[in-house]
Amino acid sequence: MNLTKFINMFKFLIFITSVFFLGSNLYAECSDLDSLECSQWAEYCEWNEETGQCQEIGGGNGNIEFGPYQYTFLTESDGIRVSTNYNGALLYYPINGITPFASMVIIDAFDDEYGLQNWAEYYASHGFIAMTIGNFYNDYWDYEDRGIGLLDAVITIKHENERIDSPLFGMIDTTSFAVSGYSTGGGGAHAAATMDSTLNAVILHNPAVAFLDSLNCNSDTEYYCLVPEHLNHSVPVLVFAGEYELDELVTESDSIYANIWAFPQYDYVPETTDKVYFESISEGHGSSESPVGEVATYAISWLNYYLLNDSTYCDLLIQEPESTSQFLTTIECTTSISYDINGDGSINNADLVMLITHVMNGTISSSDFNYDLNVNLFDILILSDYIGSI
């Protein structure tokens, strides 16, 4: 069979598959299945005996679209390092994922290590280590303390790479880390970026931050405030916000705190730093609290670009998502999509054959031309159409 016929066969199979899906009672979510149907889709779904529902493998968190990897987690009782700089930890990691693993550390606004568990599960299902840490419950636990806790958790993950009894022994990339947090936890993550320039990236979920500074802040705020000098750092930063967030959080009586939220943080980071402001339309302070929709897919693309150094995601990061009311960035992509799969300097049928081989064998390829977080038949068709046009 020649290559043209092979490609046409792929297109026909996709057409037939689409007709079958549209013409049958195909279920869109695992949660729509009963126990028998759930077992019939065991590659993607599993039955949760506690809830009596079918769920996506790895978890059942509503509309969260988990990645290809199953995952599990470790706690301090399993032997991971205990720290006095944070209050408990859950360390999620993918099962049979591609090593070495890049890592993310996450902290919620005020809750314990279970607060942003859904984000940790989501990241682990996409091939990353994701460790959640808990807050302390006292009046002295501020933004910078949260930042110190996040950075100390990075050390804990590095220890797992050296702990002989750890299932992650020798499997961690000890040079690739990001930190993240929600609300005041996001402020802690931003504080961490100002403390440690070796971090590869930061993701801030509807963040609030203020720094203790007796020179620039006044007594009305107990010497906490936010000025541009506080955020003079070079760590790439993704800021999630909601269109109506300030309306929810700031009133005339507390307008003194108006500049500690998401947009001022984006604005105060130097223009020379890679940064993104992603404001979700018609959303408030909880716009990015859970990994759903374009917030989730954008976060994964951010990690693929900055933690895995996959330049194919750059073009996606500078495209304005449909769900945003405001989108700003300083990112500049110096490379465009590369269709030269085999790196021989030419784009031709040899590249198409190599991509088809990757897809059929399930081997790793960075040729995700449609940015759906999968390399599959649709990417083959995109490359085929491109080659046909040249």
DSSP string, 213-263: -TTTS-GGGTTEE--GGGG---S-EEEEEETTHHHHH--GGGGGGGGGSHH
- Give the pLDDT mean for 329-351: 81
Calpha distance 329→316 (Å, rounded):
12
Question: Which pLDDT band, with edges at 50, 70 and 90, does 1 fall under?
Answer: very low
- Do 137 and 279 lie in one domain? The reply is yes
The answer as to whether 306 is a domain residue is yes
Give yes or no for residue 68 having a pLDDT over 70.
yes
Give yes or no for residue 85 having a pLDDT over 90.
yes
- Do 75 and 55 lie in one domain? The reply is no
- Do 136 and 265 lie in one domain? The reply is yes
- Give the pLDDT mean for 252-258: 70
Residue pair 360/324 in contact (Cβ under 8 Å)? The answer is no
- Do 254 and 322 lie in one domain? The reply is yes
- Give the pLDDT mean for 56-77: 79
Contacts for 57 with CB less than 8 Å, ≥ 6 apart: 44, 45, 46, 66, 70
- Do 143 and 168 lie in one domain? The reply is yes
- Each residue's pLDDT tens digit, 152-195: 999 999 999 999 999 999 999 999 999 999 999 999 999 999 99
Give the per-residue pLDDT at 19: 32
The answer as to whether 18 is a domain residue is no
- Do 85 and 192 lie in one domain? The reply is yes
The answer as to whether 268 is a domain residue is yes
**What is the model's pTM?**
0.74
- Do 320 and 381 lie in one domain? The reply is no
Give yes or no for residue 27 having a pLDDT over 80.
no
Question: Which pLDDT band, with edges at 50, 70 and 90, does 364 fall under?
Answer: low
In whole numbers, what is the pLDDT of the chain averaged over residues?
86
The answer as to whether 19 is a domain residue is no
Lowest mean pLDDT among 17-26, 256-265, 319-328: 17-26
- Give the pLDDT mean for 346-367: 80
Domain count, the chain: 3
- Give the pLDDT mean for 8-13: 41
Residue 48, domain extent? 29-60
- Give the pLDDT mean for 37-63: 62
Give the per-residue pLDDT at 56: 55
- Do 43 and 143 lie in one domain? The reply is no
Give the per-residue pLDDT at 30: 61
Calpha distance 306→237 (Å, rounded):
10
Give the per-residue pLDDT at 23: 32
- Do 113 and 257 lie in one domain? The reply is yes
Residue pair 129/92 in contact (Cβ under 8 Å)? The answer is yes
- Do 180 and 213 lie in one domain? The reply is yes
The answer as to whether 108 is a domain residue is yes
- Do 174 and 321 lie in one domain? The reply is yes
Question: Of 38, 60, 82, at which residue does a domain stop?
Answer: 60
- Each residue's pLDDT tens digit, 191-238: 999 999 999 999 999 999 999 999 999 898 889 999 999 999 999 999
What residue type is assigned to position 92 of the chain?
Y
- Do 49 and 140 lie in one domain? The reply is no
Question: Which pLDDT band, with edges at 50, 70 and 90, does 86 fall under?
Answer: very high
Q: Give the whole-number percent of the chain exceeding pLDDT 90.
A: 62
Q: Give the whole-number percent of the chain exceeding pLDDT 70.
A: 82
The answer as to whether 315 is a domain residue is yes
